[in-house]
Amino acid sequence: MRILITGASGLLGLNLALETTHRHTVFGAVNQNVLKTNAFTVIQTNLLAPGAVERLLERTQPDWIIHCAALANLDACEADPLLAKQLNTDLPHTLASHVARSGARLLHVSTDSVFDGLRGNYTEEDIPSPVGVYTRTKLEGELAVTQADPRAIIARVNLFGWSLTGNRSLAEFFFNNLSIGRPVMGFTDVIFCPLLANDMADIFIKMFEMNLSGLYHVVSSEFLSKNEFGVRLAQRFNLDSSLINPTSVVQSGLKAFRSPNLNLRSDKLAKALGETLPRLSTGLDKLYTLYQQGYPQMLRNLGSS
Ligand SMILES: NC(=O)c1ccc[n+]([C@@H]2O[C@H](COP(=O)([O-])OP(=O)(O)OC[C@H]3O[C@@H](n4cnc5c(N)ncnc54)[C@H](OP(=O)(O)O)[C@@H]3O)[C@@H](O)[C@H]2O)c1
């Protein structure tokens, strides 16, 4: 298949591109971070420029599109709500409108944090209640995609992994700090279900192959606090978990609101796939194997000039 991945320099998009390129023809669209790789075709384009989406689709002629490009930094969204709307709502709408007129299939990546996290245990049936610019614009993006292309898959995700910059994910935050013996905070009252970005590739491909459409939670079948995540990562990498100070997010000084309980149920997808989604230990084992194989450094080299 010909797969177009937008946001291919980002945490999710880059790992998806590298995982899928062995069996498919992959085109990775990037904006500012031009990748040096022959593993897949890299196309530099600012998707907000007039006509950029049409040109990209015309050039790549994809069967499947995985739309990862976004403004995914919460504080950046609060600082520039217009850009957040353009990237998280308007761009997915434009893309979905064009895809709907072609024979291609679209998987639009959304976020677990469309929920305010006051309750937890959310299914796809629950009404979202976004708090803040990032989550509001992402939810509006979901609605715009569904309206423009009802066959699209909307995947609400939470993820961790190795990234181009080496500091994009929570796993890297804990790994980088603990590796140099620096103490960090671990939030005890923020719950999530993170899935390894690399494992998401297989799942997304299966969703396309099974011709799914509509809304799915694509998260780990296990929920835990961010503090627990840090401790489990430290144990897997033989790092000192006592450097992680269990802390309430309220005392953290972080600017943008964080939903406290993002325990999302993935039963709908598990039923469709006929298998439960990976637990954290599976993802941490693979994260560690990738580390031993020099994968983080390999990613870093893709970005160096
Ligand atoms: N990271 C998480 O924990 C998390 C959690 C839940 C949901 N999500 C969702 O997962 C998706 C991927 O997130 P991520 O963490 O991989 O994001 P990321 O690392 O911040 O990457 C964002 C990507 O978007 C691209 N981009 C930004 N502006 C663009 C523009 N004008 N034109 C073209 N491309 C542009 C960036 O390109 P350049 O870098 O080349 O400029 C980059 O490749 C997003 O939809 C996000 O909302 C992420």
For residue 242, is pLDDT > 80?
Answer: yes
Q: If pLDDT is split at 50, 70 and 90, which confidence band does 251 have?
A: confident
Compute, in angstroms, the gap from residue 183 CA to the centroid of ligand 1. Answer: 28
Q: Which residues contact 82 (CB under 8 A, 6 or more apart)?
A: none
Residue nearest to atom 21 of ligand 1 (CA): 10
pLDDT digits (tens, 9 = 90+) for 19-45: 999 999 999 999 999 999 999 999 999
For residue 255, is pLDDT > 80?
Answer: no
For residue 258, is pLDDT > 80?
Answer: no
**Ligand 1 probe mutation, 4, 5, 11, most atoms within 8 A of CB:** 11
User: Does ligand 1 lie within 6 Å of residue 87's CB atom?
Assistant: yes
One-letter amino acid for residue 5 of the chain: I
* pTM beyond cutoff 0.85: yes
Residue nearest to atom 29 of ligand 1 (CA): 31
CA-nearest of 13, 213, 199, 16 to 96 is 213
User: Does ligand 1 lie within 6 Å of residue 217's CB atom?
Assistant: no
For residue 257, is pLDDT > 80?
Answer: no
Compute, in angstroms, the gap from residue 12 CA to the centroid of ligand 1. Answer: 7
What single string gives the DSSP state of each residue in 87-127? IIIIHHHHHHHHHHTSS-EEEEEEEGGGS--SS--B-TTSP
Per-residue tokens: 233: 């990562």
Exposure of 192 in the CB half-sphere (CA atoms within 13 A) = 24
Q: If pLDDT is split at 50, 70 and 90, which confidence band does 81 have?
A: very high
User: Does ligand 1 lie within 6 Å of residue 30's CB atom?
Assistant: yes
User: Does ligand 1 lie within 6 Å of residue 31's CB atom?
Assistant: yes
Q: If pLDDT is split at 50, 70 and 90, which confidence band does 305 have?
A: low
In whole angstroms, what separates CA 239 from the centre of its chain? 26
Torsion of CA 258, 185, 225, 249, to 10 degrees: -30
For residue 243, is pLDDT > 80?
Answer: yes
User: Does ligand 1 lie within 6 Å of residue 190's CB atom?
Assistant: no
pLDDT digits (tens, 9 = 90+) for 124-148: 999 999 999 999 999 999 999 999 9
Residue range 200-204: mean pLDDT, rounded: 98
To the nearest whole number, what is the mean pLDDT of the chain?
Answer: 96
User: Does ligand 1 lie within 6 Å of residue 91's CB atom?
Assistant: no
Compute, in angstroms, the gap from residue 35 CA to the centroid of ligand 1. Answer: 15
User: Does ligand 1 lie within 6 Å of residue 28's CB atom?
Assistant: no
User: Does ligand 1 lie within 6 Å of residue 12's CB atom?
Assistant: yes
One-letter amino acid for residue 41 of the chain: T
Percent of the chain with pLDDT over 70: 99
For ligand 1, what atom is nearest to the CA of residue 164? 19
For ligand 1, what atom is nearest to the CA of residue 69? 24
Compute, in angstroms, the gap from residue 238 CA to the centroid of ligand 1. Answer: 30
